[in-house]
Structure 1
Amino acid sequence: MVTPLSVLDLSPVSDGSTARAALRNTVDLAQHAELWGYTRYWVAEHHFVGVASSSPAVLVGILAAATSTLRVGAAAVQLGHTTAAAVVEAFGTVDALYPGRVDLGLGRSGQRRALALDAVAERRNQPPVPQRRTEIRDGVVIPAPFDPSGLLLSPRLTASMSVLQQPGARSPEFEQQVDDILALLCGTYRTEDGIELHASPGEGADVEVWVFGSSAGPSAELAGRLGLPFGANYHVSPATTVEAVEAYRAAFRPSRVLREPYVVVSADAVVADDDAAARELASTFGHWTHSIRSGHGAIPYPDPGRTAPLAETERAAVEDRLITQFVGAPATVAGRLDSLRKLTDADELVVTTVTHDHADRLRSYELLAREWGLPRLLAA
């Protein structure tokens, strides 16, 4: 049986292009992904940067309308910027019109940053922790962990976070928000005063709820304890993915949703007809990643034909992401993805591909689908 492949789309804005074009490219890619046999099409949530996926619920509805059988969803809604009720009503609206095809991925945002900043402050008073070296496990690169301290202290990130919430607002704990979402979907929600509230639309929606995490922390444990499917972000934090999956499985309890754990693992990939062509398409991935890591936010995706190589210090700052990107001919990438699947025992893989030209991104996903053996719905 072929392991399912899915798509994670950031709706990247290419250098010289616009957000409008990026969103139209997203719709086009989703329609092709459906034909090529991908299982799901997920969009991310990012704000004030060179990507167009800032409103996942709206975009999910558009994608549901543009496709027929493809599951569509968010990976993930950042709960620190919204409320449980708003999430349930928004995704319940999409499900009411396109029932049984909507995935609701949930991730921490403001809560995670606050905890991380506390950890940074605490580490200042502790001796430095020895850095783990990069290793290869069963053909999969496990790099040394990235230290996000500088990024978390970025003035731009602080400013972005400040305008995504009402002044003075404080997000509930992530676990509480997830519990509230599940209760609103099931029709069992009660306020602290015992008053029943029923989301319409939303209550009874056939929405598949996921929890996403990057490490062996609260998200992985919560997903396991609630018996929900779990998304492990190798493309974001390749150093800690294996531990995240292990923590999820260790915490897993059967639920009405799942009798056994279900894990999807993400990966960055660029596929072309041969290895050299793929490397050229991916040659500005480091520039794009560095713009994120430096605290400036993702820039419009650079054109390989007009971009100078990274400086040595810049490359060193993103080396972990470069060596864990899956780049090459179809057989090269499929082989490496299969190694990741085996190491994590993933039930499904979700692939995110960013290139400057939309045609190259389409071609990458098509070549991978063919090499992986996905069953095509129609001849595209």
Structure 2
Amino acid sequence: MGPIPLSVLDLLPRSSGVDNGTALRNTVDLAQRAEQFGYARYWFAEHHLNPGVLGSSPTVEIALVAGSTSTIRLGSAGVQFGHRTPLAAVEEFGLINALHPGRLDLGIGRSISRPEPKVDSGRETDTEGARKGYLAARGGTAHDEDAYTPNGLLLPKQFDISSAFSSNAVAHLLNLLQQPGAYAPSYDDQISTVLALLDGTYVSPQGLPAHAAPGEGADVQVWILGASGGSSAAVAGSKGLRFVAGYHHSPSTVIDAVEAYRAAFQPSDDVPEPYVAVSVDAVVAETDEEATELASGYAPWVRSIRRGDGAIPFPTPAEAAALSWTDEDRDLVRDRVLTQFAGSPKTVADKLEQLRDATGASEISITSITHDHDARVRSYELIAKEWADR
């Protein structure tokens, strides 16, 4: 199997000592350079309450970058539908598409949300229901042991995220993201609404039509993001949509996710056969040793997120080396550190091929974070050149 397209996943990281304006200008620069390097897409993630991650609104970020690029596709990975409505997303993407037609990917994720109220649901709080739903979507409880695919790709012992998502933490986030009393409908219904608004066929359960202006008829690709073999994979497959599986944040369940998607897949006019992108963390430098040093801030950065404090500004190698660690800390980040691809162009390209073959990916989306912006740009340049040469 030959090389497949590479894409960029940008969280808009802010490095220690760098202000927000500089971090945002770095993103615009990286998008321009990624276009020059031949990347197929440039996607923006959505995160909140993270001091070291500025990516809180993919649609705003797409709009900011669109005018500075001309050919690379721009998208969300993804808009979080736990606290967004289908109409708002379709209208916003339609607005950008009006000036930049045919370049947009509407990637949609579930995220934490209050469950739809039921008549006899008084035994469980809204926030506890939201927490359980999110944990189930992310694969639930931890696996006991490391596993490997037949070609040797590591599927590490899964981190048990329940400790990082208490009901109090969920309630705090929902109170800031959702209006009082608001809840998210079923994910299947939300995606159906998006598709109907885009193609102009939406009719409410009461028989009332609605037309998104802008948005209706927009030339937008719809993608579904999933971390496990749960409802996101099933919805993406059953509706004949493109699917993104997250090896970069849920490596233990990536095979479950792509297999569930393929099992549910029904061809559509736009996607006649399963189409999977797989995301991965990777840092590339001239040598393995240099790449390992550049990536050294990754472990403390992940630790800060999983402690529930929010992402810290990405540290320098010296700052990372000065931090103290406990065995509990190491367990907290183990699965993510072991599945980050850090090395020379050849080392990382070999691992990307392994990931491609294990998952059957149609393309790979790379998220790369280093403290130094030039080193980050260089990382993307090196792997793009090595990948193209193959």
Shorter-chain TM-score: which interval?
over 0.9
The answer to which of 149-158 and 313-322 deviates more is 149-158
Deviation per CA, 1:159-183: give whole Å up to 9, x if none.
Answer: 1221111111111111111111111
2:252 aligns to what SS in structure 1?
A: coil
Alignment partner of 2:77: what SS? strand
Residue 344 (structure 2) aligned to one of 320, 324, 329: 329
Helix, strand or coil at the partner of 2:221: strand
Q: Does the Cα contact within 8 Å between 2:13 and 2:369 map onto a contact in 1?
A: yes
Matching of residues 288-367 of structure 1 within 5 Å: 288-307=301-320, 308-309=322-323, 310-367=325-382
The Cα shift of 1:299 comes to 1.1
Matching residue of 2:14 = 13
TM-fit CA distance, 1:257? 1.5
* Cα shift readout 1:42-96 (whole Å, capped 9, x = no counterpart): 0000112121111110111122111010000000000011111100000011111
Deviations 1:214-249 (A, max 9, x none): 000000011000000000000010000001100100
Cα distance 1:249–1:279, how it changes in 2: closer, same or farther (>3 A)?
same
Q: What do the CA deviations read for 1:147-169 (whole angstroms, capped 9, x no partner)?
A: 11111117445312211111111
Are 2:6 and 2:363, in contact at CA under 8 Å, matched by a contact in 1? yes
Task: State yes or no: 1:222 paired with 2:235.
Answer: yes
CA distance in 2, matches of 1:266, 1:234: 5
Match in the other structure for 2:245: 232
2:76 corresponding residue in structure 1: 74
Identity of aligned residues (%): 51
Matched, 1:132 2:141: no
Q: Distance in 2 between matches of 1:53 and 1:176?
A: 26
* Structure 1: unaligned runs, 5 residues or longer: 123-127, 376-380
Q: 2: CA distance between counterparts of 1:62 and 1:218?
A: 32
Residue 122 of structure 2 aligns with which residue? none
Say which is worse superposed, 336-345 or 168-177, in terms of deviation: 168-177
TM-score w.r.t. length of structure 1: 0.93
Amino acid at match of 2:145: R
Pairing partner for 1:176 from 175, 189, 197: 189
Q: 2:66 aligns with which of 64, 67, 72?
A: 64
1:81 is paired with a residue of what secondary structure? coil
Structure 1 Cα separation of the partners of residues 10 and 73 of structure 2: 13
State the TM-score, normalized to the length of structure 2: 0.91
Cα distance in 2, alignment partners of residues 179 and 106 from structure 1: 12
State the number of aligned residues. 370
AA partner of residue 28 (structure 1) = D
After superposition, the Cα gap between the structure-2 partners of 1:254 and 1:15, relative to the gap in structure 1 and judged at 3 Å, is same
Q: Distance in 2 between matches of 1:154 and 1:296?
A: 15
One-letter amino acid matched to 1:242:
I
The answer to whether the 8 Å contact 2:238/2:264 transfers is yes
